[in-house]
Amino acid sequence: MDQREDKPDPVPPDLPQELERALAAESRARGDIERLRQALEALTLENARLSNEVEKLTTVDALTGLHCRGQFDTASRIEFRRSLRFRLKLSVIMMDIDRLMRVNDGYGRIAGDKVLAGVADVCLRGIRMTDLHARYGGEEFCFLLPETDQKGAHVLAERLRTAVAGLRFQTDKRSFSVTVSVGIAERQSDTDSIERLLEQSDQALFKAKCEGRNRIVTWTEQVGKFWKPG
């Protein structure tokens, strides 16, 4: 039996330096990975933010904060079908700012924009979270009120009409106020589409304008007969 003692291989003199370099390289790699992770996370958040901004541009009117017509049309069809299925009340308020063109001509379009934004703000603060809203035309706003009959819609419309009349707008020439005309329609048992309900509220609005503005008209069959397209 060999009685010689086994001796460990001698440690290369440069091994500690190699280990130190390897540990340093590993540390740098971990740092690079962490920086890449953070960069990816920041990029993901930025993409989400941009996507949200793009969605807002396509669904929300930048001036008024009300939904755009397309977004409203889609949501209102869904709400109309829900009201039919569960036999729920459903009403529409169609609102038009009276003589906004005179504001634009007399004080400038910037003043007209301030009126649009101010009236929209009053309306947004006055309606419920569940109500649908839209800038339906140039100076025309539309509100769809789920589970609301024409009496409830009239109460809300009067509150909004009064609030708008109380607004004051300031220009370098003088201050002024505006009024709104409002048409209301409630879904009837024979109302077969959201388009028909919106048409009825528009007919009521037309009559309100013809009767002198700054008033509310609720749709009836007589109002429908008064309507003269074109």
Residue 100, amino acid: L
DSSP-assigned states of every residue in 164-205: HHT--EE-SS-EE---EEEEEEE--TT---HHHHHHHHHHHH
The torsion angles phi and psi of 157, rounded to 5 degrees, stand at -60, -40
Using CB atoms within 10 Å of the CB of residue 132, give its burial: 0 to 12 exposed, 13 to 18 middle, 19+ buried. Answer: buried
Q: Which two tokens stand for residue 157?
A: 């419309």
Residue 134, CA distances (Å) to 3, 7, 74, 131 in order:
98, 88, 11, 10
Q: What residues are annotated to the active site?
A: 139
Exposure string for 38-67, b = 16+ CB within 10 A, e = fewer: eeeeeeeeeeeeeeeeeeeeeebbeebebb
How far is residue 135's CA from residue 223's CA, in Å, rounded to a whole number?
Answer: 24
Residue 18 dihedral angles phi and psi, to the nearest 5°: -65, -40
